[in-house]
């Protein structure tokens, strides 16, 4: 008789019953013997009964009730611990573990994210199905959890997590299976997304690549969102196989984010700067609206049509050339597409004060925002506030930028972007100063209504900005 796992998967039990029936109908002697052992007919109900009896239950209905009851008994704090271990709330997970060390022994998923290879190995020997079963608390398989675990930030745990990944692969985990949830990541993408400058999870990434995990366009994109610099992108491009089109989306994203190191790596791997992206715009054209002259230069310059020449002059801060082009063709600015006008937003995010001032002078609408399925509807004031570009914020406010404008993704105002930016500390703008940025916004009349300061929130303001808010009596009581 088999033993029912600690957190069984009902969907997997249903699949096992169907597989048993199919095998029996195909004449498999072992499958027929399993049905005969409980005098079950050669039907799905009979296969379900045989499986239920093997798992120690009197009937299929009893098995379903037991599975549902066991999954319902997963403590809420265990679910929260596992979920926090694989996202930006790793600090919450670490604090939970410190306050309640028993969480380390709360089940198979906890052992996986913590890199307890001994416990994981023992469970796999007892229940091989654990390698492929979906954890009901997180909706992910064990391999996804191991690859996404942020506990690799602890160098003492990183080798154990890599060993757990190896054990799971050896036990039959799907190296390229999609996870559940909104993102539907594969294990390699989970590992890549959690990469950082410590490179502690590099062994997992190399293990997956060595075992045949394919590098896809979305894998390369995931590496650009990671916080570890470009080492992971270099590893992936060297392992990637396929046509240059594989690198197009990543190059477009690297250009949009002015990640010059990533742009250089992708060009070196064979990316085509003139290949059209999903919106029909090439990396070269996107560079002209990304707000950084060095990106345009790295791609070999802009195009030759009037719009390209105007944008090239603007991004490089050549006011005379830009004014001359606009004067020679009075309708040129009016003919710009929304994506071209959004160059104002990019320049603001990168603190390119000369370009922002030039665009406003030439008639770029100050309310221009980032558009499209991959953008967030941020205005220039949102972007400058998030980047802590105080001088740009001052210029935009002086020119009448809307303090109450809301982006289309989070429906947040520029002040909220400044608060989040202070905690994330992006380096897109030179000499960012979020205290001055927040002061400018508050003095201009920005409201804190609806903004909370929960210590468990993953995107909190920086300590200096919180001190500023406390000094103005705007953030409640100071934390102990």
DSSP 291-343: T-HHHHHHTT---SSHHHHHHHHHHTT-HHHHHHHHHHSTTTGGG--HHHHTH
pLDDT band at 243 (very low <50, low <70, confident <90, very high): confident
Question: Residue 101, Cα to own-chain centre: how many angstroms?
Answer: 29
Confidence check: pLDDT of 477 > 60: no
Sorted by where each begins, the domain ranges of the chain are 1-73, 75-241, 364-480
DSSP string, 223-285: HHHSBSTTHHHHHHHHH--S-GGGGHHHHHHHHHTT-HHHHHHHHHTT--TT-B-TTS-BHHH
387-419 per-residue burial string, b: 16 or more CB within 10 A, e: under 16? bbbbbbbbbbbeeebebebbbeeeebbbbbbbb
Residue 180 binned pLDDT confidence (cut-offs 50, 70, 90):
low
The answer, yes or no, to whether residue 449 has pLDDT greater than 50, is yes
Q: What CATH superfamily classification does 75-241 receive? A: Ankyrin repeat-containing domain (1.25.40.20)
Distance, in Å, from the CA atom of 144 to the CA atom of 186, rounded to the nearest integer, reads: 7
Q: Name the pLDDT band for 205 (thresholds 50, 70, 90).
A: very high
Phi, then psi, of 282 in degrees rounded to 5: -85, 170
Residue 369: strand, helix, or coil = strand
Length of the chain: 480
Integer Cα distance of 13 and 32 in angstroms: 18
Distances (CA, A) of 44 to 11, 32, 39, 306: 15, 13, 13, 70
Do the beta carbons of residue 412 and residue 376 sit within 8 Å?
no
**pTM of the predicted protein model:** 0.68
Q: Write the CATH number of the domain with boundaries 364-480.
A: 1.25.40.20
Which residue is associated with the tokens 């604090």? 95
Largest CA distance in the chain: 91
Let me know how many helices (H) and strands (E) the chain has, helices first.
Answer: 28, 0
Is the pLDDT at 135 greater than 90, yes or no? no
User: In this predicted model, what pLDDT tens digit does every residue of 1-19 receive, in sequence order?
Assistant: 556 766 677 877 898 999 9
Matching fold, domains 75-241 and 364-480: yes
* DSSP 3-state of 141: strand
Mean pLDDT to the nearest integer, 279-295: 88
């Amino acid at each position: 008789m088999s033993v029912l796992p600690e957190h069984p998967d009902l969907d997997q039990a249903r699949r096992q019953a169907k597989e048993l029936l199919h095998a029996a109908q195909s004449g498999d002697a072992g499958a027929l013997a399993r049905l005969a052992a409980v005098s079950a007919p050669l039907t799905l109900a009979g296969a379900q009964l045989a499986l239920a009896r093997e798992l120690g239950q009197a009937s299929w209905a009893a098995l379903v009730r037991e599975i549902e009851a066991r999954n319902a008994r997963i403590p809420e704090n265990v679910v929260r611990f596992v979920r926090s271990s694989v996202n930006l709330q790793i600090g919450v997970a670490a604090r939970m573990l410190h306050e309640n060390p028993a969480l380390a022994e709360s089940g198979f998923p906890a052992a996986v994210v913590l890199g307890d290879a001994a416990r994981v190995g023992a469970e796999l020997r007892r229940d091989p199905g654990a390698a492929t079963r979906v954890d009901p608390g997180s909706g992910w398989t064990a391999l996804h959890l191991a690859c996404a675990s942020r506990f690799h930030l602890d160098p003492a745990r990183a080798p154990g997590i890599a060993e757990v990944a190896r054990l799971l692969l050896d036990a039959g985990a799907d190296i390229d299976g999609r996870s559940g949830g909104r993102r539907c990541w594969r294990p390699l993408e989970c590992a890549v997304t959690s990469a950082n400058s410590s490179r502690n999870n590099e062994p997992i990434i190399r293990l997956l690549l060595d075992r045949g995990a394919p590098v896809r366009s979305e894998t390369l994109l995931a590496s650009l969102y990671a916080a570890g610099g470009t080492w992971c992108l270099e590893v992936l491009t060297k392992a990637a196989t396929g046509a240059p089109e594989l690198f197009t989306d990543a190059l477009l994203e690297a250009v949009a984010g002015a990640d010059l190191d990533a742009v250089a790596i992708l060009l070196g791997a064979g990316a085509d700067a003139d290949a059209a992206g999903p919106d029909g715009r090439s990396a070269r054209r996107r560079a002209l609206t990304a707000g950084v002259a060095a990106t345009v230069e790295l791609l070999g310059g802009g195009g030759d049509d009037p719009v390209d020449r105007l944008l090239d002059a603007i991004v490089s801060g050549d006011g005379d050339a830009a004014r001359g082009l606009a004067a020679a063709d009075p309708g040129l600015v009016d003919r710009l597409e929304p994506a071209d006008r959004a160059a104002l937003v990019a320049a603001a995010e990168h603190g390119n004060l000369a370009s922002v001032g030039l665009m406003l002078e030439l008639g770029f609408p100050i309310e221009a925002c980032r558009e499209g399925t991959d953008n967030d509807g941020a205005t220039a004031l949102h972007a400058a506030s998030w980047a802590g570009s105080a001088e740009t914020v001052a210029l935009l406010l002086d020119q009448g930028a809307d303090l109450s404008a809301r982006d289309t993704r989070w429906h947040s105002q520029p002040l909220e972007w400044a608060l989040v930016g202070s905690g994330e500390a992006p380096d897109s703008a030179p000499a960012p100063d979020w205290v001055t940025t927040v002061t400018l916004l508050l003095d201009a009349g920005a409201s804190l209504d609806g903004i909370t300061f929960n210590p468990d929130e993953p995107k909190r303001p920086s300590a200096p900005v919180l001190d500023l808010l406390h000094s103005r009596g705007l953030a409640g009581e100071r934390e102990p």
